[in-house]
Structure 1
Amino acid sequence: MKKIYIIHENKEWTTHLTNRLEELEVPYEEWHLDEGVVPLFEAPPEGIFYNRMSASSHTRDHRFAPELTGAVLSWLEYHERKVFNGSRALQLELSKVNQYTALEKHDIQTPKTIAAVGKPNILEAAKSLGANAFITKHNRAGKGLGVQLFHSTASLEDYLYGPTFEEPVDGITLIQEYIESPESYITRCEFVGGKFLYAVQVDTSEGFELCPADACQIGDLFCPVGEEVAEKPKFQIIEDFADPIIEKYEAFLNTNQIQVAGIEFIRNAKGEIFTYDVNTNTNYNAEAEKLAGKFGMLELAKILKKEWKKA
């Protein structure tokens, strides 16, 4: 029997989707690819495949899960299976350098960024950037890995040669101009089926860890998801959000064969938009969705069901 196959390495991030598939009475199977085999001389099963592999898998001791997923996706695509978020989506998920170059091709402005390997080169990159404030981040990231704000190269040097420096899993550190917003929030646009679903405003006053998932841990810090917040929630869906950037985002996703994604941007004091992250393993905040009556995983499950019935 044909079914939906969910490719991932973190069970906690698939529960909301599998619950929706069960509601819609769609058969599914999870492929947890922290390890496994790929029988290249055999044909894969018939069905619909959805890739949810995460760039942060190594933080859960699944160091080679993305590489294994890449092999699986190549196998599936060779046999012309229907894959949501296939090889190109995985390539962008694992590299912000690839994200930024692909975004710029669609006339989508990204922050000025330099990629560097090696501590002396990271320091020189920061000096050559010429920005009054800049951030570091990991090229292969997720969960805000390696994100630090600096106001001088001296403080960066202290960090690089101090005990708290985080070595990126792929060795590439990004040095990026800091885009200061007049208000402490960023905007995350969610897309399902390659089409805009909703935008969520994310409060950044407590830091850069912006994971919207209900189960999300960054070191010893937890995303305050679902907690009662006295003044306003950390994640809030914007009613009737409309901006010309949405059309560019949809064209970008179509070109790169990405069906499901969350794209984050920030506005500077002039109102200019800078796009800095494409998350093809997007999660949704349950509390924000409940308040707005919009549900990403439900819409995704409906699309998967439609494809399953056609298969």
Structure 2
Amino acid sequence: MTDLAILYEHPAWFTPLFAALDRRGVSYAALMPDGHFDPANRMAPAPFVFNRFAMSSFLRAGEHPIFHTMALLDHWRRAGAQVINGPEVLAIDASKARQLSLIASLGLAVPATRVVHRAADVVAAAATLTFPLVVKANIGGAGAGIIRYDSMDELRAAVADMTLPNSIDGVLLVQDYVPARDGKITRIETLDRRYLYALDITGAGTFDLCPADACQIPGAPIPMVSTDPAPELKQAAEAIARAVDLDVGGVEVMIDDRDGTPRFYDINALSNFVAKPLDVLGWEPHDRLVDYLIARIEGARG
């Protein structure tokens, strides 16, 4: 049995990770969440399982495996595997509502938000906020399921016409539209709960801010540049990573142009890293990730 199994579903995003593992001679099994599993089978595919599962998978398959994967990772952990970005992390990744609650519990600012589970409650929730606002799917990915509304009449019409965003779990967020300073957000990546690197991403109004090539708008790539966030932003991202027990993942923050407040709004446990990292960062973050995986495996061997 190999020491490492990688569970993933996107056909292209993890080619750089697999290449980095191959360069270092690390044996691994690349698995996709297809088929079935037997909950009475106490065998895990490897001592270490690395969850590389994307919330945006529901965009690529009508019969998405998000909830199946939560159960599968929990099953493998009960069978004795150490799961990197385990089922609890995946559960946080799969709920923007839980993410915002966790972030706010740390004393960090978030966009003003109301969480609802019925379209009929959206107007009442919006009445406690100001316009413009956005309605978000609780489970999104690559900017999916986010619509801006500039007036109550516009929102009422969307409710009546049943054109609100849909979330595969039925939960919606009604949220203040934060004007991001300079039209940019900062994505802070962490590894082993410590700061790894950060990107400034311009084009906050598009909502599609995934750093992987596959997420960018065809013919209109979103500008992404390496940045060095203020120490308090790095510390906040690390605090979030510790609170989530996040082995590897990104945290997104924007500066509210109205008052200069940093507002954290998204936790992403995928961290497929930026495309063309040597051009953007000057170094390859997958090498650091492989260092971490090797250290975990060797540490378990004693």
Q: TM-score, normalised by structure 2?
A: 0.91
Query: Residue by residue, what CA displacement relative to the aligned partner does 1:69-96 show, whole Å, maximum 9, x if unpaired?
Result: 1122212222342211001111111101
Give the Cα–Cα distance (whole angstroms) in 1 for the partners of residues 107 and 204 of structure 2: 29
Q: What residue is the counterpart of 1:175 in the other structure? A: 174
Q: What residue is the counterpart of 2:263 in the other structure? A: 274
State whether structure 2 residue 237 is matched by structure 1 residue 265: no
Cα offset for 1:244? 0.9
Cα offset for 1:190? 0.6
What code does the residue aligned with 2:268 have? N
Give the Cα–Cα distance (whole angstroms) in 2 for the partners of residues 29 and 62 of structure 1: 26
Please state whether the residue corresponding to 2:231 is helix, strand or coil.
Answer: coil
Are the counterparts in 2 of residues 56 and 143 from structure 1 also a CA contact under 8 Å? yes
What code does the residue aligned with 1:196 have? Y
Give the Cα–Cα distance (whole angstroms) in 2 for the partners of residues 163 and 139 of structure 1: 17
1:166-205 equivalent positions in 2, closer than 5 A = 166-204=165-203
Cα offset for 1:113? 0.6
Are the counterparts in 1 of residues 110 and 263 from structure 2 also a CA contact under 8 Å? yes
Are the counterparts in 2 of residues 209 and 223 from structure 1 also a CA contact under 8 Å? no
What code does the residue aligned with 2:287 have? L
Are the counterparts in 2 of residues 133 and 152 from structure 1 also a CA contact under 8 Å? yes
Q: TM-score, normalised by structure 1?
A: 0.89
Are the counterparts in 2 of residues 7 and 31 from structure 1 also a CA contact under 8 Å? yes
Cα offset for 1:134? 0.8
1:96-107 equivalent positions in 2, closer than 5 A = 96-107=96-107
- Relative CO higher for 1 or 2, CA cutoff 8 Å, sep ≥ 6? 1
What code does the residue aligned with 1:294 have? W
What code does the residue aligned with 1:27 have? S
State whether structure 2 residue 242 is matched by structure 1 residue 243: no
Give the Cα–Cα distance (whole angstroms) in 2 for the partners of residues 277 and 192 of structure 1: 16
Please state whether the residue corresponding to 1:148 is helix, strand or coil.
Answer: strand
What code does the residue aligned with 1:132 have? F
Q: What residue is the counterpart of 2:298 in the other structure? A: 309
Q: What residue is the counterpart of 2:243 in the other structure? A: 255
State whether structure 2 residue 41 is matched by structure 1 residue 41: yes
The root-mean-square deviation of aligned C-alpha atoms, in Å, is: 2.1
What code does the residue aligned with 2:111 have? P
What code does the residue aligned with 2:86 have? G
* Larger displacement relative to structure 2 (61-70 or 261-270): 61-70
Cα offset for 1:263? 0.6
What code does the residue aligned with 1:179 have? V
1:126-137 equivalent positions in 2, closer than 5 A = 126-129=126-129, 131-137=130-136
Are the counterparts in 1 of residues 55 and 141 from structure 2 also a CA contact under 8 Å? yes
1:34-183 equivalent positions in 2, closer than 5 A = 34-61=34-61, 63-129=63-129, 131-162=130-161, 164-183=163-182
What code does the residue aligned with 2:270 have? N
Please state whether the residue corresponding to 1:149 is helix, strand or coil.
Answer: strand
Give the Cα–Cα distance (whole angstroms) in 2 for the partners of residues 80 and 235 of structure 1: 40
Cα offset for 1:164? 4.8
Q: What residue is the counterpart of 2:288 in the other structure? A: 299
Give the Cα–Cα distance (whole angstroms) in 1 for the partners of residues 80 and 105 of structure 2: 28
Give the Cα–Cα distance (whole angstroms) in 1 for the partners of residues 205 and 244 of structure 2: 33
Give the Cα–Cα distance (whole angstroms) in 2 for the partners of residues 147 and 223 of structure 1: 21
- Return closer, same or farther for 1:215/1:201 CA change in 2, 3 Å cut-off: same
Please state whether the residue corresponding to 1:245 is helix, strand or coil.
Answer: helix
| Runs of at least 5 residues in structure 1 that lack an aligned partner in the other structure | 226-232
Give the Cα–Cα distance (whole angstroms) in 2 for the partners of residues 267 and 293 of structure 1: 26
Please state whether the residue corresponding to 1:190 is helix, strand or coil.
Answer: strand
* Larger displacement relative to structure 2 (35-44 or 65-74): 35-44
Aligned length: 299
* Larger displacement relative to structure 2 (149-158 or 257-266): 149-158
Query: Residue by residue, what CA displacement relative to the aligned partner does 1:214-273 show, whole Å, maximum 9, x if unpaired?
Result: 1226xxx54844xxxxxxx611111x4332132232122123211111110110123210
Cα offset for 1:51? 0.6
Please state whether the residue corresponding to 1:136 is helix, strand or coil.
Answer: strand
- Return closer, same or farther for 1:289/1:123 CA change in 2, 3 Å cut-off: farther
Are the counterparts in 1 of residues 4 and 48 from structure 2 also a CA contact under 8 Å? yes
What code does the residue aligned with 1:89 have? V
* Larger displacement relative to structure 2 (291-300 or 256-265): 291-300
Q: What residue is the counterpart of 2:19 in the other structure? A: 19
Cα offset for 1:132? 2.7
Give the Cα–Cα distance (whole angstroms) in 2 for the partners of residues 241 and 292 of structure 1: 14
